[in-house]
Structure 1
Amino acid sequence: MIDFSAMIAGPYCARWLADLGAEVVKVEPPEGDHMRHRPPLREGHSAYFGHLNSGKRCIALDLKQAAAVEIARTLAAGADIVVEAFRPGVMARLGLGAAALRLQNPRLIYCSISGFGQDTALSHRPAYAPIVHAASGFDHALGEDAEGRPVGSNVPMADILTAMFAAMSIQTALLQRQRTGIGTHIDVNLMDSVMNVLPYELQAAQAGAAQPRPSYKPLRARDGYVLVTPINARNFVKLCAALGHPEWAEDPLLATDAARFCNWSEYMRRIESWTMQRTAAECERILSDQGVPCTRYLRVEEAMRDPQFAQRESFAPVIDGPHEYLSTRLPFSFDGRRPLPGARVAALGGDTAQVLRERLQMSDADIEALERSCAIVCHRDPSRRQP
């Protein structure tokens, strides 16, 4: 698999496929994927980049040079899968588009990732996750402040969702190829990916629903915040008992789903009047013991310490230069065997020479000539220990 992508969506897709056994060669420009410079950093090594790209072999090519383009074309001709996330049309202009590469290799599965699709009126518009969050209605769906301003998200959900859909589509294409012998060109984009996780909002927009979806907000406790989500009628009855107000089950303001939705603020206010008198841990324990969905709000560093993650072995170490840190494992297992992430994060150009020797049978003299012409970057970092 050849990964021409950068940033988040394409690299994460390729990293997950690497976890599942794909041999991934990541192609970077001479300056490297932008994420190599994003914090958190350890002595110049980005753990963010490492999380997205562990388990890959990394080569660096200057695709402005014909010799580098020819290397990329030859690598792709021998690959099962290509992933790219350039603006639509860029790869075709380089001679590395789906049509050209599939002509060389009809079995090739070529996945193009973009903001708005390959051939729409918005195809050439710059698109990062925050742009798509705003343009899709996702930010408004997360909630609004008192002035109607959308809450927004700091997490690049559009990228992560697109990575998942891209990985899913590639695996489906592999199954199709097994049956037909022919590859395909996959077009997956951030905007469609986000729309696929807004089923309520999409249907409410078409139905003209006046009643917004109830929004569960943080409720104050004595020492923090809790989330209480009595979603169905059974949860509601148990909540009334746990809070010491069984009479609420007969209160016209709250007795039915429709009544609770119409009086949502009052409903949450009553619950909060109880949570404010207790610690977050007490709220979680008392309500959970009574079958009412409830949790404390935790930061990621607190959540990581939960024993369930150790029990499920949800994290695994990766080696990045002189450093070792934990990365997530895919959230599923096969007969109890859970895929592991690749244990190594490659340096920029760290595998260029080896890949060219193995895949293209290039001599050391040829590689050195390409390096002198700056068509490729070969990097050997003595600080990088092997797993």
Structure 2
Amino acid sequence: MSASSHTPVLQGLRVIDFSAMIAGPYCTRWLADLGAEVIKIEPPDGDHMRQRPPLRGGHSAYFGHLNGGKRCIALNLKQPQAIEVARSLAAEADVVVEAFRPGVMARLGLGADELRARNARLIYCSISGFGQNTELSERPAYAPIVHAASGLDYALGEDAEGRPVGSEVPMADVLTAMFATISIQTALLQRERTGSGTTIDVNLMDSVVNAMPYELQAAQAGISQPRPRYRPLRTQDGYVLVTPINSRNFVKLCAALGHPEWAEDPLLSSDGARFRNWSEYMRRIESWTRERTAAECEALLSSHGVPCSRYARIGDAMQEAQFAQRKSFAPVADGPYEYMTTCLPFDLDGSRPRPGPRVSPLGGDTAQVMREWLGLTEKEIDSLVQAKAAFL
């Protein structure tokens, strides 16, 4: 089936997105990529991410990456009229996604019970740091907090003083966006079978812990040694990563490095021995890589079936033919600017879902959505604007 004839799998699905920052917006952007009509509701001053660099003429490409393909409306949820508009939109929707601190939506009159009482088929997905009803539910939580609290930062390594390495990439947000997307699609399938909607509780803490199966099991087994760490190995002009994970890779590595005798060396001859003598193992490989360029190491080891890669920065990696062949990026227009964003990493019958072509300005779709979804007249829309409940 050609890309042009492929009907987006979620076409006809209506989603209301009350979330900001990363986890919720990325989830709903992926739903939009799959064909859903996503209405993003923002406060009068907009999602915080609209101010985050990189900026082009005041337009945040970071925001655009997370929110391309959505229609954006601006409501002041402190005003009763705006709350009623939000309720009316949810009554016409299939999915609501929110990422306020637990309890906030209910206090606004926009909680799952109230909205699902009006729309029994509604799938209501709440995203939070620690879940909706736990001892930590009220605790402020961004990705770095959850990285620290979950054990992820220590799992990523420690420096010479025992200080956790940590991660600059908001993995908790990205993982939670993925699990939220999975949970919503699971709930859609359940709705097909039962006719009823679902209330979903997905959180950053559980999402991160799900990404650490080895660490979770090692902690329960009382194993203090961390998993083997494939560290950067120095070359003549940079670094490479070599990952001979199993015995088959190890034998191929010995042949490629010109040291077949290592396969019989008691220090390295078994998985357990290599694990116990990991530093020596990496030292021997690095003694070989130091005498070659990174490109030579990558080419020679890969030709022998040994997993190896040069270290690349994202700007360099984007130039790889791999991405062009996979159609991994697509342009998005953001005002007068255009840049590339990622496509979902899978094909459906040979067709790769693509992101929406534009980023909507703050309040750019308010009037149109109210006309199309709620049937409001221009006079009624003007009244909401005058009351500072809605912003165009």
CA distance in 1 between partners of 2:246 and 2:108 (Å): 56
Please list, as runs of the form range in 1=range in 2, the aligned pairs for 1:363-374 lying within 5 A after superposition: 363-374=377-388
Shift of 1:373: 2.0
Q: Is 2:147 aligned against 1:133? A: yes
**Amino-acid identity (%):** 76
* Aligned residue among 25, 43, 62 for 1:48: 62
2:306 alignment counterpart:
292
1:71 alignment counterpart:
85
**Bigger mean CA offset, 204-213 vs 340-349:** 204-213
2:38 alignment counterpart:
24
Q: Deviations over 1:295-333 (max 9, x none)?
A: 000000100000011111110111100011111111111
1:98 alignment counterpart:
112
Counterpart amino acid of 1:207?
Answer: A
Q: Deviations over 1:325-380 (max 9, x none)?
A: 111111111110111100010000000011111111111122122212211110xx
1:326 alignment counterpart:
340
**Runs of at least 4 residues off by over 6 Å:** none
1:57 alignment counterpart:
71
Q: Deviations over 1:171-216 (max 9, x none)?
A: 0100110111100100000000001011000000001013321110
SS at match of 1:113: strand
* Aligned residue among 157, 165, 177 for 1:151: 165
Counterpart amino acid of 1:305?
Answer: Q
Q: Deviations over 1:241-299 (max 9, x none)?
A: 11111111111111111111111111101111111111100110010001111000000
Please list, as runs of the form range in 1=range in 2, the aligned pairs for 1:282-361 lying within 5 A after superposition: 282-361=296-375
CA distance in 2 between partners of 1:285 and 1:350 (Å): 51
Counterpart amino acid of 1:218?
Answer: P
* Aligned residue among 181, 184, 188 for 2:195: 181
Aligned residues: 378
Residues 155 and 226 in structure 2, CA contact (< 8 A), matched pair in contact too: no
1:253 alignment counterpart:
267
Q: CA RMSD in A?
A: 0.7
1:264 alignment counterpart:
278
Counterpart amino acid of 1:339?
Answer: P
Q: Is 2:37 aligned against 1:37? A: no
Q: Deviations over 1:118-148 (max 9, x none)?
A: 0000001000000000000011111111111
**Unaligned residue ranges in structure 2 (runs of 5+):** 1-14
SS at match of 1:319: strand
Counterpart amino acid of 2:306?
Answer: V
Shift of 1:69: 0.6
Counterpart amino acid of 1:90?
Answer: V
Counterpart amino acid of 1:310?
Answer: A
1:230 alignment counterpart:
244
Shift of 1:170: 0.3
SS at match of 1:161: helix
**Bigger mean CA offset, 241-250 vs 117-126:** 241-250
CA distance in 2 between partners of 1:17 and 1:210 (Å): 41
1:381 alignment counterpart:
none
Residues 18 and 97 in structure 2, CA contact (< 8 A), matched pair in contact too: yes
Counterpart amino acid of 2:263?
Answer: A
**Unaligned residue ranges in structure 1 (runs of 5+):** 379-387
Q: Tell me the TM-score normalized by structure 1.
A: 0.97
1:384 alignment counterpart:
none
CA distance in 2 between partners of 1:234 and 1:179 (Å): 46
Counterpart amino acid of 1:322?
Answer: P
CA distance in 2 between partners of 1:86 and 1:211 (Å): 38
1:212 alignment counterpart:
226
SS at match of 1:344: coil
SS at match of 1:24: strand
Q: Is 2:156 aligned against 1:142? A: yes
CA distance in 1 between partners of 2:128 and 2:63 (Å): 20
CA distance in 2 between partners of 1:75 and 1:60 (Å): 13
CA distance in 1 between partners of 2:263 and 2:308 (Å): 19
CA distance in 2 between partners of 1:14 and 1:173 (Å): 15
Counterpart amino acid of 2:58?
Answer: G
CA distance in 1 between partners of 2:224 and 2:53 (Å): 43
SS at match of 2:37: coil
Counterpart amino acid of 1:323?
Answer: Y
CA distance in 2 between partners of 1:152 and 1:222 (Å): 28
CA distance in 2 between partners of 1:106 and 1:373 (Å): 31
Q: Deviations over 1:214-249 (max 9, x none)?
A: 110001111111000011111111111111111111
SS at match of 1:112: strand
